[in-house]
Amino acid sequence: MIEPALRVEGVRKSYGHVEVLKGIDMQVKPGEVACLVGPSGSGKSTFLRCINHLEKINSGRLYVHGELVGYQEKKGRLYELSDRVVCRKRAEIGMVFQNFNLFQHMSVLENIIEAPVRVLKISKDEAIAHARELLELVGLSGREESLPKQLSGGQQQRVAITRALAMRPKLMLFDEPTSALDPELVGEVLTAMQNLANSGMTMIVVTHEMGFARKVADTVAFMDAGLIVESGPPDQILDNPKQERTKSFFSKVL
Amino acid sequence: MDSKRKKSPISTAPVNSEATILNAVPIRHYGRWITTIFLLLVAMVMAKSLITNPRFRWGIVGEYIISTPILEGLRLTLLLTVVAQVLGVLIGIILAIMRLSSNRVLSRAAWIYIWFFRGTPLLVQLIFWYNISALYPEISIGIPFGPTFWQGNANELITPFAVAILGLALNEGAYMAEIVRGGILGIDRGQSESAKALGMTHMQTLRRIILPQAVKVIIPPTGNQTILMLKTTSLVSVLALADLLYTAQTIYARTFETMPLLLVVSLWYLGITSVLTFGQFFLERHFTEGKQERISFTQRLTGRSSMRKNSSQLGQAEKVERND
């Protein structure tokens, strides 16, 4: 059996006394696109942040490409990984944020080559060549020298996607990538994401764009109150949900 | 007002058309006229006294202002300012990073440092360092409770100059730490998060992403601190260190020309402060990147921005629009 890109077993996470994730189980195969949908506060973003260890989980197991995230298991005991190793593993997972989070003091090109040069220790020329290639794919050739604040939200988000891709990740995480955008700019970002999905990238997308989920996702998982209530192919979840909670959510959203 | 606007649609007319220029009589600022006249009178009285009061002895001021001992003192004052401020900034950055560290021991240690050095007068600290040999006559370098590699006499080692630098820099570091910390905290959390997500280490994130952006916020208060430092160095006169003030003091102790020499000192401090203010302005402007409105130095001094100058006509048309 092929090792899943993401395997999650009984993951729990609390902030103080508030339990945000109450036992998440999930599997994503390589090349698949999984969309996480659900009301705000249901723990979608927190779960996404656990996958690249931006948040530490309290219990359960989380594997990316068969490797435990943030820990090492030896003779039945868990050992926390050093910051250095965690950083190296994070570099294999791309993440795109709701607010783009481009480095404000750097040009588009500098934003993209920063991590490849500093983290992967790729030569600057090679990084620049790769960055230009990727920028062309998202239709941003010629904006290399622009500063983030000179770009529209849609352009900034496409740069952010490019920046993540420049690390040649095996898995891409999207945290509500279109929620901070003007409605007319949503399309260009979704198109870029769809192209990425078509190229075979494994993607986990937290989104409220049901149209995108229906068109692109292989799996849709509906989350509520820290649990995955229901998951399956988009048609089934969006059109014929079994659970009451899912039905009532989609009846309001769709 | 509303009915009037409907008749003449000021809000939609182009700004430069005849219709928008209001030939209204501006408000008369009687209060301004009165205060202007009053302050002019005060200034004239002061100017007259400065010129005609022979006890200012401007001739002596002129004699001393570029005399060798005064210039030597000025040199030391500037040297102390630069060295202590640079060291202070470095200490401040290190303390700020410690303070924000997730390592509780480091952050608490930095907190105690800042608490101590901000909580005691600098003058006391300077005198304390000056007399440190009373506490530790011998200073040695080695491993605690282990062997000693090097040993020296504290009195020889800690010269007044070293005390001055030590005292000023350690104290400055505490203030700079708070400034740097404020700058770092002012940066959006998303910046460090995305750096982390890209696999950058804590130090890389700090050095490449956070500090370069925090500099913009840190520069203006650091300029103020430098100006403050220039004047604070005069405290070292208690260490019998021949800075600008102490040099003047030794001269007037001999000649009793107290006032002229204090004028000499004040003029020099004023002059250097002005130069530093000027430099601070350009530094600030350099770090305000982008296409924001750039104001010139004179505009800032007079408190006038170019926006306000041509806004009298334009502004009225805009105001009407906004009221809609």
Convert the pLDDT of each residue in B254-297 to its tens digit.
Answer: 999 999 999 999 999 999 999 999 998 888 888 765 444 455 66
At B143, the pLDDT band (50, 70, 90 cuts) reads: confident
At B141, the pLDDT band (50, 70, 90 cuts) reads: confident
CA atoms within 13 A on the CB side of A45: 12
Say whether B191 and A84 touch across the interface (CB within 8 A).
Answer: no
Nearest to B197 by CA among A246, A9, A50, A136: A50
At B303, the pLDDT band (50, 70, 90 cuts) reads: low
- Which of chain A's residues have a Cβ under 8 Å away from the Cβ of B188? 101
In chain A, what percentage of residues exceed pLDDT 90? 90
How far off is chain A from B290, nearest CA to CA, in Å? 9
Q: Tell me the average pLDDT across B74-101.
A: 96
Per-residue pLDDT tens over the stretch A227-239: 999 999 999 999 9
**What chain A residue is nearest to B201 in terms of C-alpha separation?**
A87
Q: Tell me the average pLDDT across A43-51.
A: 95
Say whether A83 and B202 touch across the interface (CB within 8 A).
Answer: yes
Per-residue pLDDT tens over the stretch A119-154: 999 999 999 999 999 999 999 999 999 999 999 999
| Nearest neighbour of A90 by CB, restricted to B197, B204, B290 | B197
- Cα(A96)–Cα(A175) distance, rounded to whole angstroms? 6
- Which of chain B's residues have a Cβ under 8 Å away from the Cβ of A165? none
Per-residue pLDDT tens over the stretch B156-187: 778 899 999 999 999 999 999 999 999 999 99
User: Pairing between strand A202-206 and A219-224?
Assistant: unpaired
Cβ-Cβ contacts under 8 Å for A251 (sequence gap 6 or more): none
Q: Which of residues 209-228 of B touch A (CB under 8 A)?
A: 209, 212-213
How far off is chain B from A167, nearest CA to CA, in Å? 8
Summary mean pLDDT of chain A: 94
| Contacts of the segment B48-55: beta carbons below 8 A, 24+ positions apart | B55/B259
Per-residue pLDDT tens over the stretch A6-28: 999 999 999 999 999 999 999 99
* B103 has a chain A CB within 8 A of its CB: no
The pLDDT value given to residue B310: 43
- Over the range A182-205, which residues count as b (16 or more CB within 10 Å of their CB) and which as e? eeebbebbbebbeebbeeebbbbb
Distance spanning both ends of chain B, measured CA to CA: 11
Provide the token pair at A48: 């996404």
Nearest to B238 by CA among B126, B75, B122: B126
| Nearest neighbour of B197 by CB, restricted to A54, A83, A102 | A54
Paired residues of A219 in beta bridges: A34
| Nearest neighbour of B201 by CB, restricted to A52, A87, A149 | A87
Say whether A167 and B204 touch across the interface (CB within 8 A).
Answer: no
* A110 has a chain B CB within 8 A of its CB: no
* B288 has a chain A CB within 8 A of its CB: no
- Which of chain B's residues have a Cβ under 8 Å away from the Cβ of A145? none
How far off is chain B from A96, nearest CA to CA, in Å? 8
Provide the token pair at A233: 């192919």
**For residues B241 and B127, is the Cβ–Cβ distance under 8 A?**
no
- Cα(B75)–Cα(B72) distance, rounded to whole angstroms? 5
How far off is chain B from A158, nearest CA to CA, in Å? 15
- Which of chain A's residues have a Cβ under 8 Å away from the Cβ of B196? 54, 87, 90
- Cα(B177)–Cα(B170) distance, rounded to whole angstroms? 11
Say whether B194 and A97 touch across the interface (CB within 8 A).
Answer: yes
Q: Tell me the average pLDDT across B186-201.
A: 95
- Over the range B240-273, which residues count as b (16 or more CB within 10 Å of their CB) and which as e? ebbbbbbbbbbbbeeeebeebbebbbeebbeebe
Per-residue pLDDT tens over the stretch B40-55: 999 999 999 998 998 8
Helix residue ranges, H only, chain A? 44-51, 83-90, 108-118, 124-137, 153-165, 183-198, 210-216, 234-239, 244-253
- Which of chain A's residues have a Cβ under 8 Å away from the Cβ of B213? 103-105
How far off is chain B from A24, nearest CA to CA, in Å? 22
ipTM of the complex, rounded to two decimals: 0.91
How far off is chain B from A31, nearest CA to CA, in Å? 21
Summary mean pLDDT of chain B: 85
Nearest to A24 by CA among A40, A4, A3, A43: A43
